[in-house]
Amino acid sequence: MSELIREVKTAVIRRRGFHTHIRGLGLDENGRALFVGDGLVGQVKAREAAGVVVKMIKEGKMAGRGVLFVGPTGSGKTALAIAIAKELGEDTPFVDIDASELYSAEVKKTEVLAQALRKAIGVRIREMRTVYEGYVKDIKIRRVKHPYNPYVFIPREASITLATTDDQVTLNVGQSVVEQLIEKNVRRGDVIWIDSETGMVNIIGRTEVEGARKYDIDVYKKIEIPKGPVKKQKEIVRTFTLYDLDLNFALRKASIFSIFGFEIEREIDPELRKQVDEMVKKLVEEGRAELIPGVLFIDDVHMLDIEMFSFLSRAMESEMAPIIIMATNRGITKIRGTDQDSPHGMPLDLLDRVLIIPTYPYNRDEIREILKIRASEEDIQLDEKALEELVDIGEKTSLRHAVQLMEPARIIAKTKGREKVSVEDVREAAQLFMDVKHSVEHVKKYEELFLR
């Protein structure tokens, strides 16, 4: 397996999004929705329906089916999709795309959809590996002069002594391992293991040994000194997506073809995907891997055309299909790519295969609770009158517009030397930034001055 798979890590910059506070569906032990629970507010029937869907997924009863959330803009459709994924487990893959994204890609739209489907299926692979595991008793890194800059020294190799309560081994390691030791800041007292074949270094924790540096605050947990031999067989668990495996197979193929000067394709060959599926099925049958069906959420699904709807229908029938959740705010509209009108702009045969869950506009009490949650999440202090003003704005315009005004109102309050947002701050922010309704009125008023 180590020759076929390499783990690709990407740096992700996280910010506070509109749905970062959601932890689940907020249901009690009987499947009834609490008014406020797990970051969700209201939409009681929709949440209870989503709870039934979660049970169906866990019991393996969702094969060939999908879920469609239907409701007006800002009624919590995306939030419910995220909540379903959270209920399925923290390591459940969640991939969200907007249907319009599929038209702006450099590859075929069906290929983009296929990649999204593959990214939403995890594969947890278990391997027995030969590793060197113990606490770092001593580490010495040898550095040499940079070939192009004699004033710069670079790491070349290292000598590292790993020990347990029963054994001790000194290893001489090469540059690739040294770079990992430096990057992970491995030092005396760290409990680590090094894969004997790949050289991959992992820090397990830290132990109390003589000569180890101590810190008042540390990110690694304190553990006991390992027992037994340093060199041992260890089960390593790694999680990939089917897309990760597709990409690894494709890169191997590309490296071979590039030697002979062939052009490397942007799309992944369906035959290659079949090879990946066969490999995964074999690993699952052997008990060396397990599938983790994730969630693919497609927002504005009415933007898909007839070709992609057909592709999606076939994907639902696949053995290796994620849970497909879609959302739309459209009523009766044309199916893109045809002259046929249909509910939500979707083919009737596909609608027959999905569980449709309606969502409704939030009422005043629900808007108030959501604004409180968002204010807490974004660390914005609102006085009671400011909160009620935002609730009024949410009722008259939209919940999203009310949420959007909180941060400008906080900035306005801060410029006036206050931490708490007042009703005057909210009103000033509302005068500076338009909602959709006022924006349309503005365009109509000055229609002659706008470019067509």
The CATH number of whichever domain residue 132 belongs to comes to 2.40.50.360
Greatest distance between any 2 Cα atoms in the chain: 86
Confidence at 115, pLDDT banded by 50, 70, 90: confident
Residues 130 and 232 placed together within one structural domain of the fold: yes
Residues 300 and 198 placed together within one structural domain of the fold: no
Residue 151: pLDDT over 90: no
pLDDT digits (tens, 9 = 90+) for 61-74: 887 788 999 998 88
Q: What is the mean pLDDT of the chain?
A: 82
Answer yes or no: is 22 within a domain.
no
Distance of CA 247 to the CA centre of its chain: 18
Residue 49: pLDDT over 90: yes
Alpha helices in 286-359, H assignment, sequence order: 306-316, 348-351
Q: Please tell me which residue, 214 or 7, carries the higher pLDDT value.
A: 214
Answer yes or no: is 320 within a domain.
yes
Per the DSSP assignment, residues forming a β-bridge with 298 are: 97, 326
Please give the backbone phi and psi of residue 397, each rounded to the nearest 5 degrees, phi first: -110, -90
pLDDT at 374: 85
Residues 141 and 99 placed together within one structural domain of the fold: no
Element (H, E) at 271: helix 270-285
pLDDT at 435: 77
Q: Which of 84-88, 204-208, 217-221 has the highest mean pLDDT?
A: 84-88
pLDDT at 288: 83
For 374-434, the DSSP string reads: HHHHTT-EE-HHHHHHHHHHHHHS-HHHHHHHHHHHHHHHHHTT-SEEPHHHHHHHHHHS-
Answer yes or no: is 306 within a domain.
yes
Answer yes or no: is 149 within a domain.
yes
Residues 152 and 198 placed together within one structural domain of the fold: yes
pLDDT at 262: 43
pLDDT at 18: 58
Answer yes or no: is 140 within a domain.
yes
Residues 173 and 229 placed together within one structural domain of the fold: yes
pLDDT at 55: 92
Per the DSSP assignment, residues forming a β-bridge with 222 are: 206
The CATH number of whichever domain residue 82 belongs to comes to 3.40.50.300
What's the rounded mean pLDDT across residues 324-347?
90
Residues 432 and 376 placed together within one structural domain of the fold: yes
Q: Which of 194, 231, 225 has its CA nearest to residue 212?
A: 225
pLDDT at 218: 54
Confidence at 249, pLDDT banded by 50, 70, 90: confident
Task: Tell the burial category of 378 from Cβ atoms under 10 Å away from its Cβ (0-12, 13-18, 19+).
Answer: middle
Q: Are strands 420-421 and 381-382 parallel, antiparallel or unpaired?
A: parallel
Final residue of a domain: which of 238, 260, 286? 238
Residues 381 and 407 placed together within one structural domain of the fold: yes
pLDDT digits (tens, 9 = 90+) for 79-97: 899 999 889 887 788 888 8
Answer yes or no: is 258 within a domain.
no
Residues 141 and 224 placed together within one structural domain of the fold: yes
The CATH number of whichever domain residue 382 belongs to comes to 1.10.8.60
Final residue of a domain: which of 238, 268, 285? 238
Final residue of a domain: which of 321, 356, 391? 356
Residues 147 and 218 placed together within one structural domain of the fold: yes
Answer yes or no: is 276 within a domain.
no
Question: What gap in Å lies between CA 409 and CA 434, rounded to an integer?
Answer: 14
Residues 115 and 143 placed together within one structural domain of the fold: no
Angle between helical axes of 242-259 and 109-119 (0-180°, round to 10): 120
Residues 51 and 96 placed together within one structural domain of the fold: yes
Domain count, the chain: 3
Question: What gap in Å lies between CA 447 and CA 29, rounded to an integer?
Answer: 56
Residues 132 and 157 placed together within one structural domain of the fold: yes
Structural domain range at position 398: 364-442
Question: What gap in Å lies between CA 390 and CA 399, rounded to an integer?
Answer: 9
Answer yes or no: is 400 within a domain.
yes
pLDDT digits (tens, 9 = 90+) for 385-441: 999 999 998 888 888 888 889 999 999 999 999 999 999 999 998 888 887 777 777
